[in-house]
Amino acid sequence: MSKTLLEMRGITKTFPGVKALDNVNLKVREGEIHALVGENGAGKSTLMKVLSGVYPAGSYEGEIHFDGEVRRFSTISDSEHLGIIIIHQELALVPLLSIAENIFLGNEVATNGIIDWKLAFRRTQELLNKVGLKEPPGTLITDIGVGKQQLVEIAKALSKKVRLLILDEPTASLNEKDSDALLKLLTEFRAQGMTSIIISHKLNEIKKVADQITILRDGGTVETLDCHNEDISEDRIIKGMVGRAMEDRYPAREPKIGETLLEVKNWNVFHQHHRDRQFLHDVSFNVRAGEVVGIAGLMGAGRTETAMSIFGKSWGHKITGDVLMRGKPVDVSTIQKAIKAGLAYVTEDRKHLGLVLINNIMHNTTLANLKGVSNATVIDNHQEAKVAAGYRSKLRIRSHSIYQEAVNLSGGNQQKVVLSKWLFTNPEVLILDEPTRGIDVGAKFEIYTIINQLAAEGKGILMISSEMPELLGTCDRIYVMNEGRIVAELSKAEASQESIMRAIMRSGEKH
Amino acid sequence: MSTDTATKTTQPSVGDYLKKNIREYGLLVALVVIMIFFQVITNGVLFRPVNITNLVLQNSFIVIMALGMLLIIVAGHIDLSVGSIVAFIGAISAIMLVKWGVPAIIVVPACILVGALMGAAQGYWVAYQKIPSFIVTLAGMLVFRGMTYVVLGGRPVGPFPKDFQILSTGFVPDLLPLTDPATSLIKNYFALVMIILLVVYAVYAGLRERRMNALHETENEPFTFFAVQMAIIGAVAVFLGFQLATYRGLPNVLVIMGVLIALYTFVTTRTTIGRRIYAMGGNEKAAKLSGINTERLTFFTFVNMGALAALAGMIIAARLNSATPKAGVGFELDVIAACFIGGASASGGVGKITGAVIGAFIMGVMNNGMSIMGIGIDYQQLIKGLVLLAAVFFDVYNKNKG
């Protein structure tokens, strides 16, 4: 049995009016991968902020033991000094600086303020070799993908003599391949004796790599599971997170499928920025009334681009092809026209593209259909409040009122506000792009329930998701995309994780 | 949702409401405190009828431009060119009126149209070519100033005909001649009666709004706040109206300003176009993906700014009774400062018309009060700068605390 590297004992942290952490205990053994799971708001991030010194010693109760001694960190640099390094979900890299510059940012290889670039580049190269990133140290961050950026962050951590590496949702924005590579890297580090804490919503990944799993719920420790003593199933983890067994993660539905609503034919689109590169090739698909249709694929397959190029040509250029609604060609050349044609696109990036965060729930709800609450451009306050209150109760948005600012809502409730906005435009077909990204298990179930209700009302749903179990659990039919092409169409009976992956792999061989 | 919980969730507590709106109430309180301070320290000169009239005349154009600037700032932009537009419009109005003899009734709308075109010329580059507004309007500031020199040939042009001057130095005639102005204290009953009627209407409209809100379970200001606010604003308005009535009545510019403030308050708070500007300033990409034509909206905020700057330019020219190449130098900074003191956010999406108006009056009262006290322009600038910084610090402090 290896020794304990970190022990957090009886941590209690209160904010005005809320107890964010209540007597939390966490024990991490040296050389293990320790997973920290819990619903949004369970206290994971707060706990890590206590650990790293963002919340200084004295602002919380309880003790932190690291390396056998009680530690009191008053700033982040105190904890970094001991080798406790956090990599946050939103990466903290400067896009227009090179990999080397980023790695040594604030910690430059310099004498008397003059940087020794040769040495810096050589050290960067060594670090990049360790994390398996094949990019020259002079490459700008903006020119490499998110997956590689994540590796740069890890290399940066390694440059600081890391003892305990903490990764907050490291794979949230990575595709399956990059995620696997990252997890493999973590296991290699473990073999070399490094300790890491991984915070994640992706239970299948946690199952793959974790030695121990600590579950938080409502600011308290529920339990710590040892993956070596027993085989921990995902359902077992979920049970701990939500406090009850979730018999079925996907609510049941009897599909009642009607006529074809949306039909897209021979959709060809060139890249938004690299203007001579064709990005989508002859994409054709359809969505019928009452049907939930999925689009599966790896990141970069062209799913979001397909949706956005159809929705008012908001992505790409030189767009050709036909869009039909109920068999009749429609003009979707601007977003206004696309909305009028009966389309709605619920973005994958609700914070940047979906919500006006500083506005309240009501204003966000009516934004796409202000006409619906106004007479001759004058807004009817009462009608607007009624509409917003209606969606708030229908979609069960948890907030103290419709006047609460969107920025103060949890991820799941923000997602429901974005959904409200689009439902109020009364669309016939809703395109949902990663509708459950970054939201907790309980809220996911609610979103699925809403999707089912909409389908039952006769709307067509096109759902883009990177989580295959989610597509398999909710969709009646799944298209598989790869490299800008639709490479397979699978019925519910044919679809499985294996058949989807097989379709992707086979198409990759052809090109 | 039951009716019971609906009521509970839509009616904020007094404490919550104060916290949420502390900026707005703080601003109003600050204005009143500053007014009382200067009233005391100048031995009552500040509120003398003739000085109140001066205050209105001196600040009207800043207030009028602040209305347009607030929309620009809320939309996430800035306009540095308004001082130069003021000068250019003054110049062409002088040329048309004085040199060409065009009647004022044609010159006024023509100048507003030219101002709108100047705004459009800048709005095009900002909205459709995506050039930062700071750069476009900095260029505009130089270009329009240069054009002013060209048009005027470097010399002042004036004086203006009488029918143009009344735009800024005229008063609304006494339509209610109850007493002989020569002997009575109150020389213009019409002014006083109009102000009182307005206050009565404001209270009535406010109460009606509250009743409708209660009926529909929409958010209402706590009654104490409503009452205190109405009492303060009403008392100040009636007092000022009384003072004006003992002098020459309502200045024309006060009426123009009042109508514009009411119009822009309505546009920003109650119309779809106002809502869209706030949404665009809060998150342009989200607004665009919600089907809002953000380019066109940005374009028109600049057109609107140009038109208002043109109106202000004519008011200034009429007041000075001459068009000079140096008119309006530095006005853009006063206007922008008024918006920021009034609580607008430099990153867009936040700001209120009433805030910008109060911000402009805080600056105006301070200018006027310090001038009466005989404080030099050097210290006036210094103090105004510190007030701007303090006001914005107050915003940031509140935000971080909340």
B58 contact A CB<8A: no
- Which region among A431-445, A453-467, B147-161, B324-338 has the lowest average model confidence (pLDDT)? A431-445
Asked if A359 lies within 8 A of B349 by C-beta distance, the reply is: yes
Asked if B279 lies within 8 A of A314 by C-beta distance, the reply is: no
Of B217, B273, B291, the CB nearest to A336: B291
Provide, as residue numbers in chain B, all residues whose Cβ is less than 8 Å from the Cβ of A353: 285-286, 289
| Integer CA distances (angstroms), B123 to A308, B272, B299, B352, in order | 27, 20, 4, 22
B218 contact A CB<8A: yes
A102 has pLDDT over 50:
yes
B401 contact A CB<8A: no
Residue whose token pair is 């001057």: B165
Q: How far is B302 from chain A (nearest CA, A)?
A: 20
Closest residue in B to A347 (Cα–Cα) = B289
Of B12, B215, B273, the CB nearest to A377: B273
Of A358, A368, A401, the CB nearest to B9: A401
> What pLDDT is recorded for position B5?
38
> What pLDDT is recorded for position A247?
58
Number of helices (H), then strands (E), in chain B: 17, 0
Closest CA to A339 of A357, A325, A352, A322: A325
Closest CA to B191 of B178, B203, B204: B178
Amino acid found at A464:
I
Provide, as residue numbers in chain A, all residues whose Cβ is less than 8 Å from the Cβ of B282: 356-359
Q: How far is B264 from chain A (nearest CA, A)?
A: 13
> What pLDDT is recorded for position B1?
34
> What pLDDT is recorded for position A249?
78
Q: What is the pLDDT of residues B3-28, one digit of tens each?
A: 333 334 445 567 777 777 777 788 88
Q: Which residues contact A447 (CB under 8 A, 6 or more apart)?
A: A412, A415, A416, A419, A435, A436, A439
Q: How far apart are CA A119 and CA B332, in angstroms?
A: 51
B263 contact A CB<8A: no
B292 contact A CB<8A: yes
> What pLDDT is recorded for position A454?
94
Chain B residues 316-355 within an 8 A CB cutoff of chain A: 349-350
Of A339, A374, A389, the CB nearest to B291: A339
Closest residue in B to A355 (Cα–Cα) = B286
pLDDT band at A384 (very low <50, low <70, confident <90, very high): very high
> What pLDDT is recorded for position B84?
97
Residue B229, SS3?
helix
- State phi, psi for A400 to the nearest 5 degrees: -80, -20
A414: exposed, middle or buried (C-beta count within 10 Å: 0-12, 13-18, 19+)? buried
Residue to test with chain B: of A359, A383, A397, most B Cβ within 10 A:
A359
Model ipTM value: 0.88
> What pLDDT is recorded for position B4?
36
Q: How far is A306 from chain B (nearest CA, A)?
A: 15
Residue to test with chain A: of B17, B289, B293, B352, most A Cβ within 10 A:
B289
Residues facing residue A29 across a β-bridge: A4
Q: What is the pLDDT of residues B206-220, one digit of tens each?
A: 999 888 888 877 778
Closest residue in A to B2 (Cα–Cα) = A393
pLDDT band at A16 (very low <50, low <70, confident <90, very high): low
Asked if B219 lies within 8 A of A401 by C-beta distance, the reply is: yes
Q: What is the pLDDT of residues A58-95, one digit of tens each?
A: 889 999 999 888 999 988 888 988 899 998 877 788 98
**DSSP code of residue A194:** -
A511 has pLDDT over 70:
no
Of A314, A339, A370, the CB nearest to B272: A370
> What pLDDT is recorded for position B226?
87
Closest residue in B to A362 (Cα–Cα) = B218
| Integer CA distances (angstroms), A107 to A77, A100, A119, A136, A447, in order | 12, 11, 13, 20, 45
Residue to test with chain B: of A357, A367, A373, most B Cβ within 10 A:
A367
Q: How far is B241 from chain A (nearest CA, A)?
A: 32
Contact A88, A156 (CB under 8 A): no
> What pLDDT is recorded for position B7?
39
- Which region among A59-73, A137-151, B77-91 has the lowest average model confidence (pLDDT)? A137-151
- Which region among A13-22, A400-409, A444-453 has the lowest average model confidence (pLDDT)? A13-22
Asked if A345 lies within 8 A of B1 by C-beta distance, the reply is: no
Q: How far apart are CA B298 and CA B122, in angstroms?
A: 10
Q: How far is B272 from chain A (nearest CA, A)?
A: 5
> Using alpha carbons only, how large is chain A's radius of gyration in Å?
24
Of B10, B271, B289, the CB nearest to A379: B271
Closest residue in B to A394 (Cα–Cα) = B1
Asked if B213 lies within 8 A of A357 by C-beta distance, the reply is: no
Provide, as residue numbers in chain B, all residues whose Cβ is less than 8 Å from the Cβ of A356: 278-279, 282-283, 286-287, 349
pLDDT band at A42 (very low <50, low <70, confident <90, very high): confident
Closest residue in A to B290 (Cα–Cα) = A368
Q: What is the pLDDT of residues A164-205, one digit of tens each?
A: 999 988 887 777 788 888 899 999 989 988 999 999 878 888
pLDDT band at A17 (very low <50, low <70, confident <90, very high): low
Q: What is the pTM of this model?
A: 0.82
Q: Which two tokens stand for residue A30?
A: 């040296």
Q: What is the pLDDT of residues A403-441, one digit of tens each?
A: 888 988 888 899 999 999 999 999 999 999 999 887 777
Asked if A352 lies within 8 A of B275 by C-beta distance, the reply is: no
Cis ω on the peptide bond leading into residue B159 (within 30° of 0)?
yes
Residue ranges of domains in chain B, CATH in brackets: 19-170+251-401 (1.10.3470)
Of A312, A336, A359, the CB nearest to B278: A359
Closest CA to B23 of B336, B353, B402, B395: B395
Contact B110, B306 (CB under 8 A): no
- Our CA angle for A315, A320, A326, nearest 5°, is 95
Q: Give me the mean pLDDT over the B54-64 stretch.
A: 91
Q: What is the pLDDT of residues B326-356, one digit of tens each?
A: 999 989 999 999 999 999 998 999 999 999 9
Asked if A389 lies within 8 A of B1 by C-beta distance, the reply is: yes
Closest residue in B to A405 (Cα–Cα) = B20
Residue B96, SS3?
helix
Q: How far is B215 from chain A (nearest CA, A)?
A: 9
Residue to test with chain A: of B218, B285, B293, most A Cβ within 10 A:
B218
Closest residue in B to A400 (Cα–Cα) = B9
> What pLDDT is recorded for position B12?
59
Provide, as residue numbers in chain A, all residues whose Cβ is less than 8 Å from the Cβ of B286: 352-356, 367
Q: How far is A374 from chain B (nearest CA, A)?
A: 7
A215 has pLDDT over 80:
yes
Residue to test with chain B: of A357, A360, A370, most B Cβ within 10 A:
A370
pLDDT band at A342 (very low <50, low <70, confident <90, very high): very high
Q: How far apart are CA B129 and CA B139, in angstroms?
A: 15
Closest residue in A to B272 (Cα–Cα) = A377
Provide, as residue numbers in chain B, all residues whose Cβ is less than 8 Å from the Cβ of A336: 291, 293
Closest residue in A to B276 (Cα–Cα) = A367
Q: How far is A186 from chain B (nearest CA, A)?
A: 36
Asked if A356 lies within 8 A of B282 by C-beta distance, the reply is: yes
Asked if B219 lies within 8 A of A370 by C-beta distance, the reply is: no
Average pLDDT, chain A: 89
Residue ranges of domains in chain A, CATH in brackets: 4-242 (3.40.50.300), 249-342+427-511 (3.40.50.300), 354-426 (no CATH)
> Which of A202-211, A303-312, A463-472, B172-181 tops mean pLDDT?
A303-312
